[in-house]
Amino acid sequence: MDTGMETGNTGNGGTRPLDGLRVIDVSSFLAGPFCSTQLAEFGAEVIKIELPKVGDALRRFGSITECGDSLPWLSECRNKKSVTLDLRKPEGADLLKELVRGADVLVENFQPGTLEKWGLGWEDLRAVNDRLIMVRISGYGQTGPYSGRPGFGRIGNAFGGLSFLAGYPDRPPVTPGSATIPDYMAGIYGALGALLALRARDLTGKGQVIDIGLYEPIFRILDELAPAFHMKGYVRERMGPGTVNVVPHSHYPTKDGRWIAIACTNDKIFARLAEAMGEPELAGPDRWGPLKNRERDRAAVDAHVGAWTARHTRDEALAVCEEFQVPCGAVYAIDEIFEDPQYKARQNIAFVKDERIGELAIPNVVPRLTETPGRIDSLGPPLGAHNDEVLRGLLGLSEERLAALAAAGVI
């Protein structure tokens, strides 16, 4: 495929804002690893701890490549060093504590109580390094009656209130785009929490815990759901592609079998859409100009707009909306994203070369910093690829000790 895209923010060189920061990642699957990956993109040294011979479950989740690791692993564990260590064994726990002595952040997403059982809880680790920042991501958080329950992204979507809103009112709730949304959201909040705690440490000299339940970032982003229920007892139901409080604000068909998104968030924008459709009278005070009238006739408004878009190809409808400054966009599939000039201009897709699989396209770094940007140095590493560098080079273990640890299954 000729993408016309460059490799984007990849390669070596240049100062990054987290240069000199050391992160120990003992998490697995997605939420914790995504948290530490964001720190790694901006310069942190991330040492990923994995179970010997087994590795992170993310290595086997999704499409498996010829190198034996999955596409999610290669993409979402970029820029990390892989070290094998069995934390269930006392020697493994002791080695982790040695790593923690020189670390700034530790990321974990075990069920609450697991690390404590191994002698690696917060009190154990802060005794080794009281400047440590510990990011703890779990299904329901470290406290509360549900804290001991296991949790995955799908549960976070459901318990957080998002799944109930996804789909049509006369059908069962559906997956809201992806079951992994809470994992990514928790990872983002985990990275934000780590940065906030690092700033606080500059002021106090002390580390602290960041405690996140997978459902909490989902609940945090649900617009006015909570205050609307508290004030009015309003329970929002599924609305298909529509949106509460505004209309037209949905997905509309085009005559070439595609879809566009149109978002009229106020009366002025609807008036521009009415002009674009060649029917300015629709925005009159006795028609659909006031929002209350459009909400009253929501189905008719959406049907009318959909009938207009259906008379045009997607590109024609987009061009007219753009001409009249009506917010609109194509409803893209991934193949269309690869061909879009905006994605190319912004280098949103990075093409990273790896000796194991050749070139791989992955989402590029976000956010974009003008002076100290993040970058992608490498894809997710082979299991234990950095054992020697970290255990011998950083901790000073001898060849004999490493051999003994390997024989005992600790590394």
Give the active site residues.
Answer: 183
Q: Classify residue 394 by its DSSP letter.
A: I
CB 211 within 8 A of CB 141: yes
At 356, the amino acid letter reads R
Residue with token string 């405690």 = 211
C-alpha pair distances (Å), 77 with each of 56, 151, 189, 381 = 10, 21, 17, 8
Rounded Cα distance between 400 and 395, Å, is 14
Tokens, residue 303:
């049907």
What are the CB-based long-range contacts (under 8 Å, 24+) for 206-209? 206/130, 206/131, 207/126, 207/129, 207/130, 207/131, 207/132, 207/133, 207/134, 208/133, 208/134, 209/122, 209/133, 209/134, 209/135, 209/136, 209/142
Q: In what order do the strands lie in the sheet with 80-84?
A: 80-84, 45-50, 22-25, 105-108, 133-138, 209-213
Cα distances (angstroms) measured from residue 185 to each of 79, 129, 133, 218, 303: 20, 28, 19, 7, 34
Cα-Cα-Cα-Cα dihedral sign, residues 119, 123, 129, 134: positive
Query: What ranges in 84-239 are assigned the alpha helix state H?
Result: 90-101, 114-117, 122-128, 153-160, 181-204, 215-220, 225-232
Contact status, residue 16 vs residue 38, Cβ threshold 8 Å: no
Residues near 294 by Cβ (< 8 Å), separated by ≥ 6?
247, 248, 270, 288, 301
Q: What is the residue whose two structure tokens read 């549900």?
A: 146
Cα separation, 379 vs 354, whole angstroms: 7
